[in-house]
Amino acid sequence: MAEFHGSFGLLQRTCALLVAACVIHLSVVIVFYMRSFDIVARIPLPQHEPTGARETSARNRSAPDTPEVDAERNQTLQYCPETPPRLEGPLHVDFSRPVKLDVLMTDARLSLGGHYRPSECVSRQKVALIIPFRDRELHLTYWLFYMHPILQRQQLDYGVYVIEQNGDETFNRAKLLNVGYVEALKDYHYDCFVFSDIDIIPIDDRNLYKCYDQPRHLSVAMDKFGFNLPYNHYFGGVSSLSKEQYLKINGFSNNYWGWGGEDDDIYNRLLLQGMSITRPDHNIGMCKMIRHVRDKLNQPNPQRFTQISYTRETMEKDGINSLSYSVVSWEKNRLYTKIIVDIGKPPHL
């Protein structure tokens, strides 16, 4: 009997050890399973990069390649191709001889106000070209002569807006750009804005005057600077911003009176909002500038370096949300819309 109890006790202990081993094994399996599940759950799903060109235009992300009905022409049109088919590449631009606008003035494809849209397809973007202006009639003639054919070959739905500063106060380029943005939207439902100095012409029509997923610097290699950038974060001359990008930086500063500083302030705003600058290839981005003496009312801004250093503090309150001006006149001809505005006076320093 004692031998039986001894054997039973041994069996009990063996069973207990076996149960304990099973419990430990099951616990290890459960813990391993849960950890594996957690790791899998935290692994991000792969993001498939789109194939094709590295840079995509802002409109291209949403524009389907499906027919669109043009009510005015009573026909169905496809969206224009990504690469316009009639581009010529390198161009001959010559400022040494006078040019005439007679042919352009009779171009039936241009509607009043310098507005054009391709007849053969639906443009993927509606582009407003904003030009700050004062006392540059000769430069404007050259700009219109060369740019209208380029923009038409690029198959853009575009309009040209010359924003002239009234009076004899110090010039304020950036504030005029803000005015151009506001006034152009009163005229048409634009989704892209190209801000261009009046004296810069691209010498390659593959440099597309449209908007991209990131802000675009278009005048990257000007003859004035030996066809190079004067410095890496230069954003002056000609640039493009989508409506979304423009509003994200609160437009441009209204407080840069005189020459210099506003383009660096714009660059700072873009970086502070997490955006980056894109540029065309160096050869495609070449431009020519009309040589001229500095305007009497556009002397260097002595406060520009101090102002640039405070972009972070000023951009939320200085921009499109603080813009004030009054329209003196609004006139349209075949080649452009001219808006003369009173933008006030610089503060006394």
- For the CA atoms of 92, 93, 99, 104, the dihedral, rounded to the nearest 10 degrees, stands at 80
Residue 291: predicted pLDDT: 83
Residue 211: predicted pLDDT: 98
Q: Which domains does the chain have, with CATH numbers?
A: 62-342 (3.90.550.10)
Whose tokens are 């990069």? That residue is 49
Mean pLDDT confidence for 83-88: 97
Confidence of residue 29 (pLDDT cuts 50, 70, 90): very low
Confidence of residue 148 (pLDDT cuts 50, 70, 90): very high
Instruction: Kindly report which listed range (3-7, 30-34, 292-296, 345-349) carries the lowest average pLDDT score.
Output: 30-34
DSSP bridge partners of 201: 288
Residue 164: predicted pLDDT: 97
Return the higher-pLDDT residue of 121 and 48: 121
pTM for this prediction: 0.80
Residue 12: predicted pLDDT: 62
**Is the predicted pLDDT of residue 30 greater than 70, yes or no?**
no
Answer for the pair 306, 322: CB distance below 8 angstroms, yes or no.
no
Residue 253: predicted pLDDT: 97
Phi-psi region of 190 (alpha: psi -120 to 50; beta: other; left: phi over 0): beta
Contact residues for 290 (Cβ-Cβ < 8 A; gap 6+): 95, 139, 142, 199, 200, 201
**Is the predicted pLDDT of residue 49 greater than 70, yes or no?**
no
Mean pLDDT confidence for 69-85: 78
Q: Which segment, 228-237, 245-254, 297-306, is predicted with the most confidence on average?
A: 245-254
Answer for the pair 179, 325: CB distance below 8 angstroms, yes or no.
yes
Mean pLDDT confidence for 273-294: 91
Residue 10: predicted pLDDT: 54
Among 174, 157, 156, smallest CA distance to 165 is for 174
Buried-state track 19-56, b at ≥16 Cβ within 10 A, e below 16: eeeeeeeeeeeeeeeeeeeeeeeeeeeeeeeeeeeeee
Active site residues: 197, 199, 259, 262-263, 289, 292, 294
Residue 11: predicted pLDDT: 53
